[in-house]
Amino acid sequence: MSSACVVGAGVFGASLARELALRDWDVTLVEQHTPGTVRSASGGDTRLLRAAHGDSEWYTASAVRARTLWLELEAATRTRIWEGVGLAWLARRPDGFEAASVPVLERLGIEHDWLAPDGARGLFPSLAADDLHAVLYEPGAGVLHARRATQLLVADGERHGVTFQGARLAPGDDPPGDVIVWACGAWLPQLFPSLVAVEVSRRDVFFLGGDRSWLGVPGFVDYDGGFYGHGDVAGLGVKIAPDSASDTIDPDTLDRLPSAYWEAEARTYAARRFPSLAGAPVLGGRVCQYDLSADTHFIVDRHPERDRWWLVGGGSGHSFKHGPALAEYVADCIEGTRERETFHALGSRAGDAGLRTGST
């Protein structure tokens, strides 16, 4: 039996540890805090799952595969992690990310509607659509209960033989195992500064108190406006999240109190885009971090000098949804049955694939 040590129990590490255990590997999963800690990017309350990824077929197919795997995990564990509320892309241009997504959705047979702005009004209790060109609606998209799902992956992994260990490891610890996977999210660049070029950048999210008409409302992405969110899910409130450039931070020392600046931005956006939310109280906020690669592609690669070591990260603000599908891909790469995609390589990156929910 081959052995693996996976360092980091965010969605990447937890999914991979479970996947390797399902493939009969002897797996140890090591985490410095607790799985789903709010200090990790995977420890948020909710994360969107959508198929549309512009013209990228790889990420579109991965999201769809991941959805199947999330639903299987939910059914197998009888634990609710999925809200199938759909998602609306608020397209401001005829030639933007949304329009680029459509041919891929069509090629892969993924259900979607390209709606006139007025035709989308019924999706939300109120929607200001005057600046929209169209709305791309994905009925199969939805919202994952992220922290719960991360903890479920670890618990289910343990049921399948994963050994969990609480510790903070460094490369100098040289953990034992046939394969070592460093899946350390925003901590990856400080562990491998010469190899991992990601910017660790703060993000604030807010939950607003809408009335009952906001229950079961779809997720939304205003890609060119730099905002995303969803209706009221499980009593959390309506999520309004800015997705524009923000401060570079240290994930160990960041005070996670929402900023007054981003709160004002979120309130202003909500009142403008969804007029019935004007004046709604803020029910809560969270501060987390993106680990942004220069082109928003993930990192999946072998360490150039340590053949047994793999580095997995660079989630770039859009990786949660992919967790279990990415784990299948990484496990295949480790087992040598699939080639690592060139766009996941370590090293310098050019361009901006723009795969997250904001273009700025």
Question: In the chain, where does DSSP find H-type helix?
Answer: 11-22, 57-77, 97-107, 146-159, 188-191, 260-273, 323-335
- With a CB cutoff of 8 Å and minimum separation 6, the contacts of 318 are 296, 355, 356, 357
Q: Please choose, out of 28-36, 255-263, 267-275, 334-342, the segment that lies near ligand FAD by the rule CB under 6 A.
A: 28-36
Determine if 285 is a binding residue for ligand FAD (CB under 6 A).
no
Whose tokens are 């923000």? That residue is: 246
Cα distances from 81 to residues 33, 48, 148, in angstroms, run 22, 12, 7
Determine if 31 is a binding residue for ligand FAD (CB under 6 A).
yes
Min dist CB 141 to ligand FAD, Å, is 10
d(CA 231, CA 238): 5
Pair 320, 11: CB distance under 8 Å: yes
Q: Please choose, out of 44-52, 106-114, 272-280, 300-308, the segment that lies near ligand FAD by the rule CB under 6 A.
A: 44-52
Q: Which residues pair with 203 in a beta bridge?
A: 288
Binding mask 293-312 for ligand FAD (x = CB under 6 A): --------------------
Min dist CB 5 to ligand FAD, Å, is 10
Q: Please choose, out of 3-11, 208-216, 260-268, 270-278, the segment that lies near ligand FAD by the rule CB under 6 A.
A: 3-11
Min dist CB 94 to ligand FAD, Å, is 25
Which of 17, 85, 183, 233 lies at the binding interface for ligand FAD (CB under 6 A)? 183
d(CA 273, CA 225): 10
Q: Which residues pair with 26 in a beta bridge?
A: 3
Whose tokens are 């049921």? That residue is: 159
Determine if 175 is a binding residue for ligand FAD (CB under 6 A).
no
Q: Please choose, out of 38-46, 104-112, 326-334, 344-352, the segment that lies near ligand FAD by the rule CB under 6 A.
A: 38-46
Pair 15, 152: CB distance under 8 Å: no
CB nearer to ligand FAD: pick between 27 and 211: 27
Cα distances from 97 to residues 51, 89, 290, in angstroms, run 12, 9, 20
Which of 27, 48, 123, 277 lies at the binding interface for ligand FAD (CB under 6 A)? 48
Determine if 319 is a binding residue for ligand FAD (CB under 6 A).
yes
Which of 59, 89, 97, 187 lies at the binding interface for ligand FAD (CB under 6 A)? 187
Which of 16, 17, 28, 44 lies at the binding interface for ligand FAD (CB under 6 A)? 44
Nearest to 205 by CA among 357, 65, 16, 17: 357
Which of 4, 6, 13, 265 lies at the binding interface for ligand FAD (CB under 6 A)? 13
Which of 157, 185, 237, 242 lies at the binding interface for ligand FAD (CB under 6 A)? 185
User: In what side-by-side order are the strands of the sheet with 238-242?
Assistant: 113-115, 134-138, 87-91, 219-222, 227-230, 238-242, 198-208, 282-293
Q: Please choose, out of 67-75, 90-98, 101-109, 180-188, the segment that lies near ligand FAD by the rule CB under 6 A.
A: 180-188
Min dist CB 118 to ligand FAD, Å, is 27
Min dist CB 183 to ligand FAD, Å, is 5
Cα distances from 54 to residues 58, 91, 188, 223, 341, in angstroms, run 11, 12, 27, 11, 18
Q: Which residues pair with 39 in a beta bridge?
A: none
Determine if 169 is a binding residue for ligand FAD (CB under 6 A).
yes
Nearest to 84 by CA among 145, 148, 149, 12: 145
What is the number of the residue whose Cβ is closest to ligand FAD? 10
Q: Provide the binding-site residues for ligand FAD, judged by CB under 6 A.
A: 7-13, 30-33, 37, 40-42, 44, 47-48, 168-169, 183-187, 191, 203, 205, 288-290, 313, 315, 317-321
